[in-house]
Amino acid sequence: MNALRTAPPPAVRSRLPQVGTTIFSVMSALAQQHDAVNLGQGFPDFGCDPRLIDAVERAMRAGHNQYAPMPGVAALRERLAEKIAALHGRAYDPGQEITITAGATQAVFTALLAFTQPGDEVIVLEPAFDSYAPGIALVGARMVRVALDADFRPDFDALAAAITPRTRLILTNTPHNPSGTIWSAQDLDRLHALLAPTDILLLSDEVYEHMVYDGRAHASAAGHPGLAARSVVISSFGKTYHVTGWKIGSVAAPAELSAEFRKVHQFNVFAVSSAVQQGLAEHLRDPAPYRELSAFYQAKRDRFRDGLAATPLRLRPCEGSYFQVVDYGGLRPELAALDEEALARWMTREIGVTAIPMSAFYADGRQRQQIRFCFAKRDDTLDRALDRLARL
C-alpha cells in the first residue's frame, strides 16, 4: 500500500507546455502578501443590484433548479434579442440566433472549436486578453499576431498583410482589454471592406460594451449590416451586472453560425444555471442598469484619472472598459529603468498598489514602460490606492 501511495503518476504530454501560472494570479498573490490595494485583476469589489439577487432567489424557490434548455432559457434569449434590436438595429431570432454561455471565455473557446480546423489561422490583435492564445493552441489552429499601433488602434495595412488563404477567423475586442480604446464605426467599415471578398469569420469580443465614455457610442459588429452576417458577437452578463463570479454570457450570430456553435456548446457545457438565467431575464426587463453603466464607470474613471494626474505617471486615453493604462517613464530613473513586471512587483511591495504589466498581453513580452490598473472598485478603494500612489 505504501508503494502504491508513493508511486509517481504516469507521464503526461502537456497540451499547453508553455503555460504556467498567469500574471494575474501571481500579482494577486503578491498583493495579498503585502496587503496592497489590488487594482490588477479586472473585477469589481462592490456588490450587484440586490434586485438581481432577489430575482435569482425567486427563480430558485419557484423550482428552476434543473437543466435549462441547451441554447438557454427562452425568456432570456428573447430579452437579449429585444435589447440588441433596440441598441443596434439588428433583429436576431431568439430561437435560432442567440445562445447563453458559461461566460465569455467559454464562448470564445467554443467558437474556436466550432469554426476552425487544425492548421487554420486565427488573427489576433495584440496586446490581447490572455485566454485567446491557449484556446487557439488547444484547437490546433495557428495564432497570427498583428500589433495594434502605438495608440492601440487597428493597423489595417498590417491586418491586410496578415491575411492568407488559411485565415479562417479574426478575433477583435472592443472596448479593449487591456488598453481601454474602442473601435469606431469607421473602423468597422474598414474591417468590412477588408473581409468582404473573403470567407473569414469575425469573433467580436464585446464584453465591455456598456462601458463607453465621453458621449461616444459602442460600435458593435451586430449593428454593422455587412459584418453581422459573418460575426459571432460575445457579451457578458458578469461584466454588465457586476457578477463576474456567475460566469454567464451570450453569443449572437446568424442562424447558420449559431447552429455550428451549438453543436459544440451542447457537448462542452450543454446548459447554464437555470435560476440565474431566469433571474437575468426578469432583471433585463428594466434597461436602466445597463443604460446607466457608462455614466457609473465614467465617474470612477474620472475620479481615478484626476488622482493619477498628480503623480509622475502619464495617463493614456481611456475611452471604454474599466482599465486605465499609464506610462511610467516619468518616474525617477532607477524605477523608469525597470521592466514592466519588475516595476509592478516593486509598486506592490513598496507602494502597496498592484497593477498588471502590459508586457503580459504580448507574446514577445515587449516593453513599453506601461502598466494597467483596474478602476472597477469602490471609491474608497480607489482613494486608498491614490493616496499610496502619491508617494511615487
Residue with cell 468582404: 196
Q: Which fold has domain 50-286?
A: Aspartate Aminotransferase; domain 2 (3.40.640)
User: How many angstroms separate the CA atoms of 296 and 376, rounded?
Assistant: 10
Sheet holding 314-315, edge to edge: 314-315, 323-327, 370-374, 356-357
Could you tell me where in the chain the CATH 3.40.640.10 domains are found?
50-286
Closest by CA to 103, choosing from 250, 282, 276, 233, is 250
User: How many angstroms separate the CA atoms of 323 and 66, rounded?
Assistant: 37
The predicted pLDDT at position 231 comes to 98
Cβ–Cβ under 8 Å, residues 269 and 102: yes
Could you tell me where in the chain the CATH 3.90.1150.10 domains are found?
20-42+291-389
C-alpha angle 293-206-160 in degrees, rounded to nearest 5: 140
User: How many angstroms separate the CA atoms of 6 and 1, rounded?
Assistant: 9
The 10 Å Cβ neighbour count of residue 214 is 12
The predicted pLDDT at position 3 comes to 54
The predicted pLDDT at position 4 comes to 57
Phi, psi (5° rounding) for residue 251?
Answer: -130, 135
Cβ–Cβ under 8 Å, residues 335 and 199: no
Cβ–Cβ under 8 Å, residues 192 and 160: no
The predicted pLDDT at position 362 comes to 96
What is the maximal distance between C-alpha atoms in the chain? 69
The tens place of each residue's pLDDT in the chain, 392 residues long, gives 555 567 888 998 999 888 888 899 999 999 999 999 999 989 999 999 999 999 999 999 999 999 999 999 999 999 999 999 999 999 999 999 999 999 999 999 999 999 999 999 999 999 999 999 999 999 999 999 999 999 999 999 999 999 999 999 999 999 999 999 999 999 999 999 999 999 999 999 999 999 999 999 999 999 999 999 999 999 999 999 999 999 999 999 999 999 999 999 999 999 999 999 999 999 999 999 999 999 999 999 999 999 999 999 999 999 999 999 999 999 999 999 999 999 999 999 999 999 999 999 999 999 999 999 999 999 999 999 999 999 99
How far is residue 299 from each of residues 77, 147, 213, 360, measured CA to CA in Å?
31, 31, 10, 28
Across 200-322, the runs of DSSP E, i.e. the strands, are 201-205, 231-236, 249-252, 314-315
CB neighbour list of residue 295: distance below 8 Å, 6 or more residues apart: none
The one-letter amino acid at 271: A
CATH of domain 20-42+291-389: 3.90.1150.10
For 288-347, how does the pLDDT look when each residue is reduced to its tens digit (9 = 90+)?
Answer: 999 999 999 999 999 999 999 999 999 999 999 999 999 999 999 999 999 999 999 999
